[in-house]
Structure 1
């Protein structure tokens, strides 16, 4: 079987017991360990000058990482990736900014990373590239005469054409994406946005089978919703229920209900609106005052980006205002924790709570929603309140789906979740667990890689046919 090369902006920590084992890390590590392979990307370090990749061999997996200079980090990562693409892809054009120098840096760093990887590629390797930082990566490899099959998976949403066109080099970016052999999205609507952009711009056409001819290339465009391993999460949530952090929260609540939210500190997560909807619950249903608390865990992210500093200040201000309005001597309505917890401890905290509150303004999938359901006690499960703008909403009809811009609707959903009968909670949970098992993380990984390896097989057959034709001539 051909070797797999995974390319992502960051290479996940590889030390035993590392807390940063998210969905992407778990999924790609499984794939790499099965057949042996290479994981390539940024080390997370800022260096004085570029250099050859640092190689670390662990079992059948090779980790190849490179540092970024301060200029590269500012232009490629802080600049175009996270100040232009991230807000635009999450429909926050009001927060997006465009700078030609940053875009030039984005293209330059993609080319630099492609050149670094090209020296490590073997003829039969299959390459799987991840996320918005690396949209032009395949084109950079093609410019270096790399002909291997290359697939791309976008973890974020992909915006509709009118939104995408607010990014000045939008056509160049989409053309670069068509240098991949397989392009995958989280949801059908994201995939359709990509197809619509190409067809309405008269750049290409697609078939019902997901094959697209665009910009002189043929590629597969598909939907591959990322999953989790629900039974592993359920086991971890149960086994870690006696951890100190879990016991402390259980003791502090004194039998009160818990609404649990866990998100990176990001404006796309709808955190301020979430706090305000909880405030409306306490206003509209005063019987819940003193009986329920919202626990919001929001680890800091991109703290050197000014927009993220402002969202932290706004969130702290809202938490203080709401607590000042409703708090009692023995009850704090909102417990806001701006810190990280080990992932398995979070699963145990999910299990302890009665409501999972996941209401992003826009999200590619949102694995927290799936993790919350998986972590529940099937004999007394909590209820998931979920934004209709999270990709997970397509797969989880057992959730109470809400519009995160409608505070009254969210408040009503919280009230419904807190008072839902056990029989209904169990039925909703059972239905969602069955769906999570049927489309788990390995299903996502295997579906994408099967399509990518099909491309590899087809390319191999074509090359052999050309060689035979040449020989016959």
Structure 2
């Protein structure tokens, strides 16, 4: 499983301010490969893992060790579709831009894009270099975003005021220094703006990548190309070294950089842009995808015959809940399988299909491995489960873990199981007596009850559900709606999760987590109880 973050990942001193920082890291670290646009984001992430969770990290190999797993952290800058952008630039008609030198800015309305900083720097540029008055135009395209939110509305007002003030300060009757467009721009039209502008100018205060600069480079198909000026805080800064860089917080330095870009010789522009275009074509969006998938495929899982059997066993099953931990030869494996719905499909009437002979043979094969400990959990009675499977040297759990038999002789039966049977039988009688219909189906599963009303006439179903739900609650059972049915369960302070922990502890001892890898496979919400226990 891979995860790629397109936005910046902050330094530890910033990240630690988030109240749920540890939970975020633990969630991300469930993935096997984690990618970022910039090397500094990789370093920030690994540093946060070490400081927040105590993970062992290796910067050279780009790895984080967390709960016995090795996670790969990769620097993989995202690219653009160069061929598509070049074609758009060729197809775009002449947009008749200003005859002056055109500085292009294309930004989404967002406070991290630094548009007010850009406008202030342009104002400083006109003040410092009056020789450019009436010879240069800033074409600022602002793309609407989150317009219903107050902070974005205020940002829009700030930008509007700055544009108005600068145009009023420097503009003449036939020259407006800032041409301001606030609307969505079609890709073909945007490619024309990229192609014909002399300078592309973007000043984000913090950005994961900012693909606009790469789009500009891909669109520079003319023999006399433009100049790319970008903030040093953009994620693209690490790879687009031929661009001119500025610090948007330093408006004087930014103004000087603008002047350098506008006065750069053609030879230098061609050299810089050719290098940028060559790199952009090589590291395009296709390369980004293939490189990330390569990192995924290179993740060193040690497959062996046992694991191939597991794959085959579930080749035609959808495992809704599945946790896989890297398995090495020195480790023991606890394989825990839910029976109904995972190993065998559940039929419409609530019954299950017969266990296929081939699956039965695979179970026997898996159970023969010395370091593999197989557990099968059923919602039915444990003795019936044993007859269905017919294998002596595996662990059986009946009634969703209320009964457990381990080959070493350990047997467990929950103290309330007998009372539970009586209460469910009593509830079944009460439902049959008081729902006053013979078309409802009541299925006693031993550890819970199903009230199926799919055969009841449509006009009576809502009333029947209300009555049945009231009876179930009156008997102190929990009601859970299902497809045309109600599930009635009695909470005993015991769950599949606790049953699995009990089994692991009985077999491997209380330190089982140090040398045992666990795979649990299930198919419904009831199996989530296992995943709430932090062992997978």
On whether the aligned pair clears a TM of 0.5, the verdict is: yes
SS at match of 1:209: coil
2:36 to 185, 190, 199: 185
Match of 1:123 in 2: none
Contact 2:22 2:52 in 1 (8 A): no
- In the TM superposition, 1:319-330 aligns within 5 A as 319-330=163-174
Matching of residue 374 in structure 1 with residue 226 in structure 2: no
Match of 2:27 in 1: 176
Q: Write the distance in 1 (CA, Å) between the matches of 2:305 and 2:106.
A: 48
Q: Write the distance in 1 (CA, Å) between the matches of 2:79 and 2:119.
A: 28
Match of 2:441 in 1: none
1:234 to 82, 86, 89: 86
- In the TM superposition, 1:204-353 aligns within 5 A as 204-207=55-58, 208-242=60-94, 246-247=95-96, 250=97, 253=98, 255-353=99-197
Structure 1 residue 316: deviation in Å?
A: 0.6
Structure 1 residue 454: deviation in Å?
A: 3.6
Structure 1 residue 469: deviation in Å?
A: 6.4
Match of 2:529 in 1: none
Q: Which has the higher Rg, Structure 1 or Structure 2? A: 2
Match of 1:401 in 2: 245
Match of 1:356 in 2: 200
Q: Write the distance in 2 (CA, Å) between the matches of 1:301 and 1:460.
A: 51
Structure 1 residue 391: deviation in Å?
A: 1.0
Which TM-score applies when normalising by structure 2? 0.57
Structure 1 residue 404: deviation in Å?
A: 1.2
Structure 1 residue 210: deviation in Å?
A: 2.0
Q: Write the distance in 2 (CA, Å) between the matches of 1:321 and 1:401.
A: 26
Highest relative contact order (Cα 8 Å, sep 6+), 1 or 2?
Answer: 1
Q: Write the distance in 2 (CA, Å) between the matches of 1:460 and 1:409.
A: 60
2:2 to 136, 151, 154: 151
Match of 1:198 in 2: 49
Structure 1 residue 212: deviation in Å?
A: 1.5
Matching of residue 167 in structure 1 with residue 18 in structure 2: yes
SS at match of 2:70: strand
Q: Write the distance in 2 (CA, Å) between the matches of 1:283 and 1:462.
A: 74
SS at match of 2:61: coil
Matching of residue 410 in structure 1 with residue 262 in structure 2: no
Structure 1 residue 452: deviation in Å?
A: 2.0
Q: Write the distance in 1 (CA, Å) between the matches of 2:135 and 2:244.
A: 21
Q: Write the distance in 1 (CA, Å) between the matches of 2:306 and 2:90.
A: 52
Structure 1 residue 259: deviation in Å?
A: 0.4
SS at match of 2:108: coil
Q: Write the distance in 1 (CA, Å) between the matches of 2:118 and 2:137.
A: 13
Match of 1:140 in 2: none
Structure 1 residue 217: deviation in Å?
A: 3.4
SS at match of 2:192: helix
Q: Write the distance in 1 (CA, Å) between the matches of 2:257 and 2:305.
A: 55
Match of 1:446 in 2: 290
Matching of residue 419 in structure 1 with residue 263 in structure 2: yes
Which TM-score applies when normalising by structure 1? 0.64
Aligned residues: CA RMSD: 1.9
Q: Write the distance in 2 (CA, Å) between the matches of 1:458 and 1:441.
A: 31
Q: Write the distance in 1 (CA, Å) between the matches of 2:10 and 2:175.
A: 42
Equivalenced residue count is 316
SS at match of 1:298: strand
Q: Write the distance in 1 (CA, Å) between the matches of 2:154 and 2:303.
A: 50
Structure 1 runs not aligned, ≥5 long: 1-149
Structure 1 residue 472: deviation in Å?
A: 3.9
Structure 2 runs not aligned, ≥5 long: 310-332, 334-361, 371-536
Match of 2:307 in 1: 463
Structure 1 residue 223: deviation in Å?
A: 1.0
Match of 2:398 in 1: none
Q: Write the distance in 1 (CA, Å) between the matches of 2:222 and 2:306.
A: 52
Match of 1:384 in 2: 228
Alignment CA distance shift 1:460-1:271 (3 Å)? farther
Q: Write the distance in 2 (CA, Å) between the matches of 1:385 and 1:286.
A: 21
Match of 1:9 in 2: none
Contact 2:101 2:135 in 1 (8 A): yes
Structure 1 residue 378: deviation in Å?
A: 4.1
Contact 1:378 1:429 in 2 (8 A): no
SS at match of 1:201: helix
| Greater share of helix | 1
Alignment CA distance shift 1:461-1:187 (3 Å)? farther
